[in-house]
Chain A
């Protein structure tokens, strides 16, 4: 359950506390730079400069923002349910913090190396919804309630394709370990990808994972629960000051956590392409570069794709992603059961990925004939 040896031969609980403190400090720095980094990336995409004034090139902007947030007044509406309202930010943040405890950042670098690491991540992340619903119900605000309902419906729906796409990878670890018994240990999953990352074998599962991840993170185009222009911020509309910044911290920390998690499961984590015996600085650098690539892809999606409607979102999850992930699981099962070569996995999953992308492109370029947009189009074309 533990990593090979506690740091400096200390008792295991002291070792655990040291590791937790290190991870929390790194997380804080990463979150501070993600908030300002997102503004830089979005500015670049929109041909602006972004924040450049605080410190050389704007590198102190994140700290200035953090200082501003903690000194702002913390307002609680009289209509709010006091304890539910005040505890909601913590209930949202703690599950995210707990998932960071099992992520391997390099070989034997992490807080704890659980045998059930992958299962742990999505079991604990499921508790995240509770905090969001507490915020939605406790604020005493209709917008917050709407945001909470939307968040819950969306996160529950997308959890299923997310878990199935991860199971597809776990099935392949069974073939890699020999004997058909797979592993849920994130460290072992990363080490098994020394020669090729699993994204090569499972591009469809990766696409499903990435989409479901965007939805779990409430990032655009799935930011329906927090849509500013519809429900002015969703479940955290009533929060201000330090509690609002707790929600921001949760959002960016879970974005980073999901990025590291996705890079471990699909991109080879610390093991690919430099091997399991590379120096720890190289392995740590590999993980950071991969998670950064993930984060930039998430931001890229945000500035490229407009927000979906809630019915489009639900249809996409239940009518497209769920079926494709089941098909992927069944095809994997046949190939692995009969011991067919792994190239076949890459081929079938690649075909599935192409089908998914073609489906998305076809839908996004099709002209609407129904709904609001379709009505406007037909109105314009009919002679007056």
Chain B
């Protein structure tokens, strides 16, 4: 019997090893492990054995059965794996065929630039303010120290709705400084983006309507060094770490001292090239310490409070950010342009 078992084992293992298809495998399973199979037939002879022989032989028989079952499993798995492989092969696709189109709309590049600026300032505790575009000249000019006679009040520069020059299209977002001072509790940290209007004919760098973002801080002990620090941070966030800036004295009626901030030309690194008109620097924004008289007009004591403000053109920032070379593209809204962003 021992020999019989050994024979079955050897034959079966070899048969399972070399089986070719599922039907043949099933046939082998029935032949060796089935109820009428060879192994069962041998086991049926167990009764003929002596009580002493039986356990050892039983154990041997079980070992053979388990070996056969293991071999059967292995053969089954191998067979299934081969079948799956065939199926997968048949299912191969041409991955270079284009995907099914999902149309996704784009943010206008100007607003993308604005979003970045908003995020930067919100992170620093600023509130975003909105205000009217049809504005009082009083807020756009008088309250900002640009009194009658200031050149920016000319009809050649500013759009008016009445001959008294009372109501106008705001020429800057700066009246939002006044609106904030008039309506908010101190200390104030705001930015105010929006549309502004100046009487410029449309060309590659001018448009009668464009966008600015105003920023303002009023607090105790605010210094020009703070202004520089904050604006440097803005430049780095917009144009990358290590962006080099410089500050130049300038004049705005509502700030004193006033400055403009330039960013070193990204193209030439300051050596001078056509992009920066040979200067090595590109003007980014105007800023300054809020003029004490502007604070006084808002009922804020300049001896106790000080502040800084800045204003920057968004189109130009977006144009620099995305290397757009013609302002008209911004307002033409051709999808071939819009879909690039």
Chain B binds chain A: no
Hey, which bits of chain A sit against chain B, CB under 8 A?
none
